[in-house]
Amino acid sequence: LSQLAFGLTTAKYTQQFYGHESQEFRMSSYPALKMLINGEWIASGGEGSMDVINPATEAVLGQCPKASKEQLDAALAAADEGFRVWSAKPAAERCAILRRATALIRERKEEIARVITAEMGKPVSQALGEVASAAEVIDFQAEEAKRAGGRMIPPRSPQILSQQVHHVPVGPCVLLTPWNFPINLPARKLGGALAAGCSAILKPAENTPAAAQMLVEALVDAGVPNGVVNLVHGDPGMISEHLIKSDVTRKVSFTGSTAVGKMLGALAAQGMKRFTPELGGHAPVIVSENADFAHAVATCATVKFRNAGQVCVSPTRFLVARSMYDKFVAEFTDRVRQIRVGDAGVDDTVDMGPLAHARRVPAMDYILEDLGGNRGEVVTGGKRIEGKGYFYEPTVVAGPAADSRLMNEEPFGPVAGIVPFDDLEEAVSIANSLRYGLAAYAFTGSQDESYYLGKSLRAGMVAINHLIVASPESPFGGVGDSGFGSEGGVEGYLGYTDTKFVTVAKS
């Protein structure tokens, strides 16, 4: 179960799931990077361009245009007009166009997956899974548009003929996405926004522009009208501030770090704009003495290093019942030592690629710097892999101190900390001790413990006996410093709507 459901990390699984030999397809060429403003593809940035780097080789993949304020203003004007056109279309028509786009994404999945791998390093099998999931997320949101019917409220007086609750699209949205899931995160946001009848300006991460561009291309090719989707690239600080401050913008959705999320939230609040922040996490995993040990250790060691640990819901603080702690550390470490790290762009047998960009390497060193002695033992890994590329050793730390960086700050990388606990209340208290509250996990064979853990773990999402919290149908989001609101599921759709009450009395 653990490998089928969570892994998809090896060439064998690539073959099994996608029916091709692992070396059969390669990225034919890296796309010429462009912005899309009012239906026009624009290669020239008003602020020049920036290099896009392959993190596995440090080679320049391409030049990405950087938007100027004038180009952003053009995108805002386009989104304003696009909203008028798109929100007037019947939901079924919007749904049909979005479903055509997902058919195109599925047709182009191999090319898109190769581009994702080149841009941020994840194994192609994982990139293929991400593309498939992006299409499904959009499909769900598109279908939801046809179901989101509002409701009738019985009037209190015979004079009142009707009381209706409508879900109306909020308006033009600014969508800011990071690099760890370069197509899936734009798909979550664009899927919800477009399904609900909003227009959008998407700004993807600086290091993964092409994957987002390929998604936008599919939408355009499927018939999304001019101005409804706009794509801009460039300096994130300047772009987000300019777009959020505009009167045109009615909603901001951001996935990224807590520090940036708080800044953008303050900007959105000044303009009284809807804001959905999906921020960092530092997920605990409680392994009870009643857990199926073999399942727990295999699942944890596989999932932790998916996407090189660069996942906001990545399990990171492993809290293990003292009776099985030594065995867990030994078996977890043994599995981690077998992880094959390498350039997934040329070798489909690697399990883990590089970190996505240069600054993630010192970020890992920083997390590990205050360990050692009685503050925690690095049992495997712990340093950059020498040579070209931003490769870091899969790292396991046994017994990190309670006040260590690893136990308190999100590593967002291939670093796992394992600590023992004596009773479940203590484990829950450690799990709940941070301001983050995105995902929390536990393994136990006891129904009572499952119920207790599901209830007491403070997080937006809790998974017990497995580590999957994301699906097209389910709400994805956090509490505390991990943000608020949801993406995905019905909640994700409703996040792009305002509630409007309409009541009519006899004339």
Active site residues: 278, 312
Distance CA 23, CA 114 (A): 12
Compute how many other C-beta atoms are within 10 angstroms of the C-beta atom of residue 43. Answer: 12
**Are 160 and 504 within 8 A, CB to CB?**
yes
Decide whether 210 or 297 has the Cβ nearer to ligand NAD: 210
Helix residue spans in 43-90 (DSSP H): 69-87
Nearest approach in angstroms of CB 476 to ligand NAD is: 10
Phi, psi of 302, rounded to the nearest 5 degrees:
-75, -50
Decide whether 339 or 470 has the Cβ nearer to ligand NAD: 470
- Sign, Cα dihedral of 26, 32, 36, 41: negative
In the 8-state DSSP scheme, what is residue 154?
A: -
- Return the exposure string of 432-441: e unless at least 16 CB atoms fall within 10 Å of the residue's CB, then b: bebebbbbbb
Distance CA 416, CA 6 (A): 17
Distance CA 227, CA 461 (A): 35
Nearest approach in angstroms of CB 255 to ligand NAD is: 5
Provide the binding-site residues for ligand NAD, judged by CB under 6 A. Answer: 176, 178-180, 205-206, 236-237, 240, 255-257, 260, 264, 278-280, 312, 359-360, 410, 412
Distance CA 461, CA 467 (A): 10
Nearest approach in angstroms of CB 40 to ligand NAD is: 24
Nearest approach in angstroms of CB 268 to ligand NAD is: 11
Helix residue spans in 338-474 (DSSP H): 360-368, 405-408, 424-431, 447-456
Phi, psi of 165, rounded to the nearest 5 degrees:
-110, 120
Nearest approach in angstroms of CB 437 to ligand NAD is: 13
Q: How far is CA 259 from the centre of its chain?
A: 17
Distance CA 53, CA 62 (A): 7
Decide whether 156 or 359 has the Cβ nearer to ligand NAD: 359
Decide whether 209 or 376 has the Cβ nearer to ligand NAD: 209
Decide whether 87 or 208 has the Cβ nearer to ligand NAD: 208
Decide whether 281 or 376 has the Cβ nearer to ligand NAD: 281
Nearest approach in angstroms of CB 430 to ligand NAD is: 20
